[in-house]
Amino acid sequence: MWEELYTAAKRVQNGRKISDYVEAGGVAAAILSASGQIYTGVCVDTCSTLGICAERNAIFNMLTNGEQEIRKVLALMPDGRTGPPCGACRELMVQLMPDSYREIEIMLDYEKGKIVTLGALTPEWWI
């Protein structure tokens, strides 16, 4: 399944300058929902705080399509490596699934097959 998520993220990653103020696609993400559907998103970076991370973009895509449970998350960085979601993305996942967020699997290093749970990355929630 991780290979499918990696491929899905790679397919949408097209890093590019949109205008003098907006860049998109430097980071891409793929989310596996509870139904087995893969949702993707790219980061949108702006010169102000209007941008969005790839992971949250993929989560919003999932929510738009009527789903709300995440099983796996893969974020593909501009250099082709994978990495963990930022604090804002982690916070959204925790708020979305407060009773089961700890079980969400995160691909840390695709090349090495290193996977952690969101519970390991976010052991204590602030609320």
Q: What is the pLDDT of residue 61?
A: 98
Pairing of strands 16-17, 22-33: antiparallel
Measured between alpha carbons, how far is 58 from 39 in angstroms, rounded to an integer? 6
Q: What is the pLDDT of residue 100?
A: 95
Q: What is the pLDDT of residues 107-121, one digit of tens each?
A: 999 999 999 999 999
Tokens for 66, please give them.
Answer: 């009527």
| Cα-to-chain-centroid distance, residue 70 | 10
Q: What is the pLDDT of residue 21?
A: 96
Tokens for 120, please give them.
Answer: 């390991």
Please check whether the domain covering 2-121 is classified as CATH 3.40.50.720. no
Of residues 61, 76, 87, the one with CA closest to residue 110: 76
Q: What is the pLDDT of residues 8-54, one digit of tens each?
A: 999 999 999 999 999 999 999 999 999 999 999 999 999 998 999 99
Residue 124 CB neighbour total at 10 angstroms: 5
Q: What is the pLDDT of residue 26?
A: 96
Model-level pTM? Answer: 0.94
Q: What is the pLDDT of residues 11-22, one digit of tens each?
A: 999 999 999 999
Contacts for 6 with CB less than 8 Å, ≥ 6 apart: 30, 74, 76, 82, 107, 110
Q: Collapse the DSSP code of 4 into the 3-class scheme (helix H, G, I; strand E, B; otherwise coil) and give the result.
A: helix
Q: What is the pLDDT of residues 60-95, one digit of tens each?
A: 999 999 999 999 999 999 999 999 999 999 999 999
Measured between alpha carbons, how far is 46 from 102 in angstroms, rounded to an integer? 31
Q: Collapse the DSSP code of 92 into the 3-class scheme (helix H, G, I; strand E, B; otherwise coil) and give the result.
A: helix
Q: What is the pLDDT of residue 6?
A: 98
